[in-house]
Amino acid sequence: MQTATDTLTIIRPDDWHVHLRDGAVMASVVADTARQFARAIIMPNIRPPVTTTELAQAYRQRIMTSLEQAGIAQESFTPLMTLYLTDNTSADEVVRASQSGIVHGIKLYPAGATTNSDAGVTDLLGRCTPALEAMERVGMPLLVHGEVTDPAVDLFDREAVFIDRVMLPLRRAFPGLKVVFEHLTTRDGVDYVRDADGPIAATITAHHLLYNRNALFLGGVRPHWYCLPVLKRETHRLALVEAATGDSPRFFLGTDSAPHPRGLKEHACGCAGCYTALHAMELYATAFDAAGRLDRLEAFASLNGPAFYGLPVNTGKLVLQRAEYSIPAELPMADTTVVPLAAGESLGWAVQA
């Protein structure tokens, strides 16, 4: 990493959790991710979900075609595919995925936890044991949406309860299983990931580093700040900042950027998800700068993730300039628009072209 008063140069980063969607929506948003990141873990919760290696290969080809149509050189961006874990995922499918060379994780969505999660797992240890045994054996990471969906559990407590009800029993049963606790949001989660035994890591989003739950209600209900897991109290935000900017290699960048049409966000039952792919590194640089830890951004964005996934560090560079960056009010998305996080506001860092 090279720093100057107004310039920050880091190894080109990776996004270890992003939603590209499919079809015309993907064509509208894929370039935003590819312009900043060399690689990205692609979430499988499209319709229909990516449940097999064959479906992952087909989805990957659609991504590469969209990149070409957007004028992005295919060799400059590598989509790292994932499978959607279901109650019926077989051990043979896990082995096929591992041998494919393109699938780098299998995603656990508790049924009903978030957008397009209705096909998710209903009983992890009861129904998924053969798949989990195979994943542990071949070294395939389990990527976890870490919330329970029990309606009796308070929305703001679902991550902490997930640790007790799901994560602890899971890792007792499969101590060698590689686990990524995705889009971490609480001090409870930070403490667990930092101190747990075995191969575990966590991604942290820019919006959870920058905002607490007050952002949802400033001047009224603001649907474009609504995501799942939801923004939490300030004490949790501070714990996430400490983890992201600290020395532990277990924490790394994952935007969870999720495009939704403006009309479905500003809706009686609005979709969960924040669109941050356009200005992801500007947001992260702002968060690290506010913490006085720009020196830690490269490890978080460019080094820790490859180390956990067993992949080489990228060779390219990304340059950030201390300059005003104005976030657009909205962006084209298929036949509608998407509102990026913090639309209409300004940030203090901009990625150089």
The residues assigned a catalytic role are 256
Any known ligand binding at 291?
A: no
Any known ligand binding at 170?
A: no
Burial of 73 (0-12, 13-18, 19+ CB in 10 A): exposed
Question: Which amino acid, one-letter code, is at 23?
Answer: G
DSSP string, 105-138: EEEE-BTTSSTT-TTSBS-HHHH-HHHHHHHHHH
Residue with tokens 């913490």: 291
With vertex at residue 105, the alpha carbon angle to CA 178 and CA 138, rounded to the nearest 5 degrees, is 60
The rounded radius of gyration (Å) of the Cα atoms in the chain is 19
Helix axes 91-100, 129-138, angle to 10 degrees: 30
Any known ligand binding at 228?
A: yes
Cα–Cα distances in Å, from 48 out to 118, 119, 290?
A: 11, 9, 41
Distance CA 105, CA 117 (A): 17
User: Quick one: tokens of 17?
Assistant: 């959790």
Question: Is the Cα torsion angle 257, 259, 264, 265 positive or negative in sign?
Answer: positive
Any known ligand binding at 224?
A: no
Looking at residue 325, what DSSP letter applies? E
Any known ligand binding at 256?
A: yes
3-state SS of 137-150 is HHCCCEEEECCCCC
Any known ligand binding at 279?
A: no
Any known ligand binding at 209?
A: no
DSSP string, 174-206: -TT--EEEES--SHHHHHHHHH-SSSEEEEE-H
Any known ligand binding at 145?
A: yes
Helix axes 91-100, 53-69, angle to 10 degrees: 40
Write out the binding residues. 17, 19-21, 45, 107, 145, 183, 228, 256, 260, 272
Write out the binding residues for Zn(2+). 17, 19, 107, 145, 183, 256
Write out the binding residues for substrate. 19-21, 45, 145, 228, 260, 272
